[in-house]
Chains A and B, each alone.
Chain A
Amino acid sequence: MSLHDFDQLFQSKIDQEIKIEPKDWMPDAYRKTNIRQISQHAHSEIVGMLPEGNWISRAPSLKRKAILMAKVQDEAGHGLYLYCAAETLGMSREQMIDDLNSGKAKYSSIFNYPTLTWADMGAIGWLVDGAAILNQVMLCRTSYGPYARAMVRICKEESFHQRQGFESLLVLSKGTAEQKAMCQDAINRWWWPSLMMFGPKDSESTNSDQSMKWKIKRKTNDELRQQFVDMCVEQVKLLGMTLPDPHLKWNAERGHYDFGEIDWNEFWNVVKGNGPCNKQRLAARRKAHEEGKWVREAAAAYAEKRKTASLNPSKGGTLAAA
């Protein structure tokens, strides 16, 4: 079979909705795009632990502390499944983490915004997780099998997080004047960055066309963004709060809400590293990695000793692997 035949067979599988599996032939660009996207997604989960982790020590009740801690821990779990999914394409987790720490790999820009008040925990759950879910629901049907399967599990937990976030805002919205103000302020700050999570406009997006053809993506950035706006406009009414966009207006002709122009200058600045927390987030990841080096080395050295010892039954150990 010629390369052309392989390529045709590959595309015909995609067209017939047959999942691509790790051992199947695939075009190099498909492999690379998936590695890039899945590892970016994994990095986003890991970096995403930081803005919310920022409030674990100060959560306002023991119940909220438990919920928040469990949520951040879920994100670590998601990172883990996603690194494993990306590894099936031939890149090691170590390499991916090195790429994150060197700044070569990207992660979702949303996590470069600071979490200033407790209400940000609710706003992140409602808006950031809400935006992420629309993307992730689509990815449950993505063409690469291991990625699609990881997403099914992640989606279940994410929609739980979103409900928890909304519920936490609902409590604030019914609280004291200070709590209501805190709630509205958080929505104001997280609304536009959440809209930016869907990426550049379709007309500007470089990766979109090929990804649609390969069914890595199934909806365009603009389609998902519109879906998100339509959803939030309804939900914010339940909170008795507003979205900070004077141009939001129902458009009967389109059957959708019109909304104002995103500040693309801000978007590209954050992508390029000039967001309020880009430096701090990366520094925190690097620090954890560097300070953990001696621990990982010790665990490896110990495991090696055990392996040697297990060949000699008189000194056999029972210690489970790290």
Chain B
Amino acid sequence: MDNSLINYTLHLADTTLILSQRNSEWCGHGPILEQDIAITNISLDLLGQSRNFYQYAAQLINFSKHSEAKVSPSGGDLEGASEDSLAYLRTEREFKNLLLVELQNGDWGQTVLRQFFFSQFQYLLFEQLQQSKDEQLAAIAAKAIKETTYHVRWSSEWVIRLGDGTDESHQRMLHAIDELWRYTGELFEAAEYETAMGIDLAAIKQKWTEKVIAVFDEATLPVPENSFMQLGGKKGVHTEQLGYILTELQYMQRTYPNSNW
């Protein structure tokens, strides 16, 4: 077995974990109680998805160790891998999450716009992944797409509400687009492990663009002209922010190794 399936599963796990971690920063600090609950709910859904992906990746890694296959080229002692060892004991360069999800939350507008870009993408991806020949990934996607359907609806509604709300909220959404748009290109740039998995990102890109145009149109927001896109996350080359996220996320496991919690 080559590493594509493991790396791809880790990419899915890392992306959902980091977005969950970011969104959970809102817990207790949301603009209104109902939305505090909603964003935490999304954060919990993403965490649940990431655990499913990590558990599967751990299973694959442990199995391939037994069969003496070479595992992660980026190293790390993955002996007896588990969801926690994969989330808590890998380094910045080993994380394969999308850059988009590691960016600072910014204001509520930026957070909901990031969620919209991501959820819209994830929905289309899970539609494909449900059909995957890999039964486990297909099963996780089939379960998770129900949650993602809600995330798409919730985030689309917020983009529209803020884009077409007040002058201030419209301005803030323009700012959010300016901050985030250049990280959307990476969603569709296939890493080797995605190509190997047969994910058709071109098809997703077309549908994603149509959806974004429709929602932006209703939100009275402009869709940016093609601009330069930042890449790297999928290959482990991140923004400076990921190191801080991992420092916090991994603090306990790094400080108290080999403990049960």
Residues of A within 8 A of B (CB): 46, 49-50, 53, 56-66, 69-70, 72-73, 76-77, 79-80, 83, 118, 168, 171-172, 174-176, 178-179, 284, 287-288, 291-299, 301-302, 305, 319-320, 322
Q: Which residue of B21, B27, B50, B166 is within 8 Å of A72 (Cβ)?
A: B27
**What does the 1/0 interface line of B46-71 toward A look like (CB < 8 Å)?**
01101100100000000000000000
Instruction: Return the chain A residue nearest B248 by Cβ.
Output: A57
B32 touches A296 (CB 8 A): yes
Q: Which residue of B83, B164, B252 is within 8 Å of A302 (Cβ)?
A: B164
Is B241 an interface residue when CB atoms closer than 8 A count as contact?
no
User: Considering only CB atoms and an 8 Å cut-off, how many residues of chain B contact the other chain?
Assistant: 51
A287 touches B47 (CB 8 A): no
Is B147 an interface residue when CB atoms closer than 8 A count as contact?
no
User: Which of B1-9, B155-163, B200-208, B226-234 forms contacts with chain A?
Assistant: B155-163
Instruction: Give residues of chain B (26-46) contacting chain A, Cβ–Cβ below 8 Å.
Output: 27-37, 40-41, 43-44
A79 touches B33 (CB 8 A): yes
A76 and B36 in contact (CB under 8 A), knowing A57-B248, A58-B249? yes
A62 touches B28 (CB 8 A): no
How many CB-defined contacts (below 8 Å) exist between A and B? 145
A50 touches B47 (CB 8 A): no
Residues of B within 8 A of A (CB): 17, 21, 24-25, 27-37, 40-41, 43-44, 47-48, 50-51, 54, 83-84, 87-88, 107-109, 157, 160-162, 164-166, 168-169, 172, 248-249, 251-253, 256, 258-261
Q: Can you name 19 A-B residue pairings with CB atoms under 8 Å? A: A53-B29, A58-B252, A59-B252, A60-B252, A61-B261, A62-B17, A62-B50, A76-B36, A178-B256, A291-B31, A291-B108, A294-B168, A295-B109, A297-B165, A297-B168, A298-B161, A302-B162, A302-B164, A322-B161
B259 touches A176 (CB 8 A): yes
Complex CA distance for A77 and B27, rounded to whole angstroms: 12
